[in-house]
Structure 1
Amino acid sequence: MKEKKWLLVLLLGALTAMVPLTIDMYLPAFPAIQSELDASTSLVQLSLTASLLGIAIGQLVIGSLSDVYGRKKPLMISVTLFIIASFLCAFAPNIWFLVIFRFLQGLTGAGGIVIGRSIVRDLYEGYELTKMYALLILVMGLAPILAPVIGGGLLALTSWRGIFVVLSVLGILLLIMTIYKIKETLDENQRSQAGLKNSLMVFRGLLKHKRYIGFALAQGFTAAALFSYISGSSFVLQGIFDLSPQIYGLVFGLNAMGFIGMSQVTGRLAGKVPEEKILKVGFLVALIGGSSLVVASMIEASLLFVIFGLFLVTSSTGLINPTSLSLAMQTQDRNAGSASALLGLFQFVFGGIAAPLVGVAGTTTLLPLALIILTCQALSALAFVIFARSE
């Protein structure tokens, strides 16, 4: 039984990892793409934006379809289309075709993450659901850490086009595993009715569900804080503190391990400690970390003090994400696919808005990054208090 559980965790973790792999694996190839396709830096970055937009839209569409037609069929179709989109990226003749194909890759790759979370909700409840989401985050959390490293290694063996070929091969392996190892988890009597009107009614119901929205907003603002850190930390740590790219990579890896480690602590505590209590501790750690960064910027603290604050910020995400995700999904006995989709949309939209703000506000000092992170964390805690906290 345990072997089957771990096989499910690894497979669903790999499916949810399709999104971070799609986003991050080709990042080291930006200069090569710019050179070969004779494109500007902004156009190459547009290919990344296109994939993020595709992921956001794909979660809404595929999540809704999985509530109507079950989990397995939409998952197999989305992975198949992901394979095709990845091959198209590999043979893009110019930057505009690459942008279009990247949008399609994000759109179809979103099926893995939204249906993966929905399958877990179909199979588990209560603290067991929190434990399973924590395990998924362990597998998924390694993807954004390893993806750029894998991409850089592939560039030593092949061109940037080879990265997309590898992604398509990965898709083929996941499709085979999906066909033979994943069973349908949504019974026909639990499925929603087909049609745009019904889908809109489902999303309207979710938006009106106070506790669900509270947890969704908490997770969305936490994602915004994390995306701000990701987008601004390299400029701050390398530009202000003169860290080399290699040392910055080690610091980034340390913070990522804090996130993964805390997510596993959450999984261990689930069932022993009430999930809302874990969530409150996560908010506290986040606010201490964000406040530490603001103080550090004002007193021009040492690098170690700044790294300590960033470590608390990323580690708190490991406490907040699994619990807020689980508690939000626990409010939805039906329509888990749509609920998972809306959670994903909040994360990517809030993160997509917050990340550029760091650059707009300025990266010559730590203060703009610190203030944006602290503001997002405060809004996350406030959303929980106003909408989701138990009486």
Structure 2
Amino acid sequence: MERWKLLLMLGALTALVPLTIDLYLPAFPSLAEDLGTTTSLTQLSLTASLVGIAFGQLTIGALSDIFGRKKPLVIAIMIYVIASIICAIAPNIWVLILARFAQGFSGAGGIVISRSIIRDLYDGSEMTKMFSLLILVMGLAPILAPMLGGQILLFTSWRGLFTILSVVGLLLVFLAIFKLKETLPHEERSEGGLKTTFSVFTRLAQNRRYMGFALVQAFTAASLFAYISGSSFILQDIFALSPQTYAMVFGLNALGFIGMSQVVGRLTDYVKEERLLVAGFIVALTGGATLLTASLIDGGLVLVVIGLFFITSSTGMINPTSLSLAMQTQKRNAGSASALLGLFQFIFGGTVAPLVGLFGTSTILPLATIIVVSQVFVVLSYILLVKTKEVIGSES
């Protein structure tokens, strides 16, 4: 398959996760009314999909190291289609919650196997370029999905949204069957079954360089999820921004994220990936310090927006480089390596997200503190696990 065609297919598979998460968000009120349920249980359907995505990556990634990329992907997306149909016809909220877990679990195959396919086919700067383009998809899809969902709701109900997701899944099944070639040769597959493959996770955890970059990804996700979960309350409640103005600020920050991920992809031919990663740390810490300063001196809206822009832009630098560097340590077990990265991101991000509300949104300080602490752990993970390993290795 030509490179651009492969990229389009992997981009579509990657977009399945953010579409699964975000497409139905505008339908929450009508969904709750239709099923006669509460707001909290409606939100639980979102949590169920996030948990499914986290553990789906772990399981499907491991299976793809045993059976190759194509077969687990096709089966996962077929299950996704069935789960989406069950969501569309769910008679009550509990059936929807269970189906959403299955939808997230199976949909995770798209993102984890897409990463693994790139690792199978590319190395070094070429891999970083491909990952930066997938990051572009991951950046655009969460922005466009709620907007798209809102427009679709003009013509159908929340059930129609899940019907559309089932059709999208069905199209991806056909593409995977007839267009996608197997990228993992038999001689490079894991042997000994799923138990042996899961033991790979133990070896991954013992690889200091891999774990260093994995924790960089995880704590960066924590910072980003804190921003996503807290920024709407802070900008609208404290600074009295309208939902429309907030959407503009959110979109501006998303453009910074997307733009920097593409700049990184272009620079990898000229600048070493670890230098780009460190540059991302500097941008992140600058944004965190700006936001913390604004919270301590009541610096006003402009300073807050500048800080948030730097923070989200730095994510576009850190994510593709740390992802590529982590995957470069694992050629044989790319599926498991990709799965563990995804698990860390969703667990760390999902754990931190509620903390902003728990510590309060009447001031900026809780959000700023959580983001800065996450950023400090990003840098410490790199120094203590990656750079310390290099020093030890050079001395020995």
TM range (shorter): over 0.9
State whether residues 69 and 182 of structure 2, in contact with CA within 8 Å, keep that contact through their aligned partners in structure 1.
yes
Q: Which letter maps to 1:322?
A: P
Structure 2 residue aligned with 1:161, among 145, 148, 159? Answer: 159
Look up the match of 1:56: 54
Q: Does 1:279 align with 2:277?
A: yes
Deviations 1:197-234 (A, max 9, x none): 30232110000000000000000000000000000000
Look up the match of 1:7: 5
Q: Which letter maps to 1:263?
A: S
Structure 1 residue aligned with 2:181, among 183, 202, 216? Answer: 183
Look up the match of 2:394: none
For residue 90 of structure 2, give the secondary structure of its aligned residue in structure 1. Answer: coil
Look up the match of 1:223: 221
State whether residues 223 and 374 of structure 2, in contact with CA within 8 Å, keep that contact through their aligned partners in structure 1.
yes
Q: Distance in 2 between matches of 1:78 and 1:52?
A: 16
Q: 178-187 vs 64-73, which deviates more?
A: 178-187
Q: Which letter maps to 1:254?
A: L
Look up the match of 1:360: 358
State whether residues 240 and 364 of structure 1, in contact with CA within 8 Å, keep that contact through their aligned partners in structure 2.
yes
Q: Distance in 1 between matches of 2:113 and 2:195?
A: 21
Q: Which letter maps to 2:166?
A: S
For residue 184 of structure 1, give the secondary structure of its aligned residue in structure 2. Answer: coil
Deviations 1:28-48 (A, max 9, x none): 111011111111111001000
For residue 185 of structure 1, give the secondary structure of its aligned residue in structure 2. Answer: coil
State whether residues 16 and 112 of structure 1, in contact with CA within 8 Å, keep that contact through their aligned partners in structure 2.
yes
State whether residues 13 and 137 of structure 1, in contact with CA within 8 Å, keep that contact through their aligned partners in structure 2.
no
Look up the match of 1:375: 373
State whether residues 63 and 194 of structure 2, in contact with CA within 8 Å, keep that contact through their aligned partners in structure 1.
no
Look up the match of 2:343: 345
Q: Which letter maps to 1:203?
A: F
1:164 Cα offset (Å): 0.4
State whether residues 288 and 307 of structure 2, in contact with CA within 8 Å, keep that contact through their aligned partners in structure 1.
yes
Q: Which letter maps to 2:116?
A: S
Look up the match of 1:141: 139
Structure 2: stretches of 5+ with no match in the other structure? 392-396
Q: Distance in 1 between matches of 2:198 and 2:66?
A: 13
For residue 130 of structure 2, give the secondary structure of its aligned residue in structure 1. Answer: helix
Structure 2 residue aligned with 1:261, among 256, 259, 272? Answer: 259
Q: Distance in 1 between matches of 2:253 and 2:312?
A: 6
Structure 1: stretches of 5+ with no match in the other structure? none
1:69 Cα offset (Å): 0.2
1:159 Cα offset (Å): 0.4
Q: Does 1:104 align with 2:130?
A: no
Tell me the TM-score normalized by structure 1.
0.98
1:304 Cα offset (Å): 1.3
State whether residues 62 and 198 of structure 2, in contact with CA within 8 Å, keep that contact through their aligned partners in structure 1.
no
Q: Distance in 2 between matches of 1:253 and 1:118?
A: 30
For residue 243 of structure 1, give the secondary structure of its aligned residue in structure 2. Answer: coil
Q: Does 1:26 align with 2:27?
A: no
Q: Distance in 2 between matches of 1:36 and 1:380?
A: 43
Structure 2 residue aligned with 1:121, among 119, 122, 133? Answer: 119
1:357 Cα offset (Å): 0.4
1:9 Cα offset (Å): 1.0
Q: Distance in 2 between matches of 1:154 and 1:17?
A: 18
For residue 352 of structure 1, give the secondary structure of its aligned residue in structure 2. Answer: helix
1:305 Cα offset (Å): 1.1
Aligned counterparts, 1:199-210, within 5 A = 199-210=197-208
Aligned counterparts, 1:281-360, within 5 A = 281-360=279-358
For residue 17 of structure 1, give the secondary structure of its aligned residue in structure 2. Answer: helix
Q: Distance in 1 between matches of 2:173 and 2:252?
A: 33
Q: Distance in 1 between matches of 2:262 and 2:114?
A: 19
Q: Distance in 2 between matches of 1:360 and 1:199?
A: 38
State whether residues 10 and 139 of structure 1, in contact with CA within 8 Å, keep that contact through their aligned partners in structure 2.
no
Look up the match of 1:250: 248
Q: Which letter maps to 2:113?
A: I
Q: Distance in 1 between matches of 2:201 and 2:152?
A: 41
1:365 Cα offset (Å): 0.4
Deviations 1:3-48 (A, max 9, x none): x211111110110111111001111111011111111111001000
Tell me the TM-score normalized by structure 2.
0.97
1:194 Cα offset (Å): 4.1
State whether residues 62 and 194 of structure 2, in contact with CA within 8 Å, keep that contact through their aligned partners in structure 1.
no
State whether residues 66 and 197 of structure 2, in contact with CA within 8 Å, keep that contact through their aligned partners in structure 1.
no
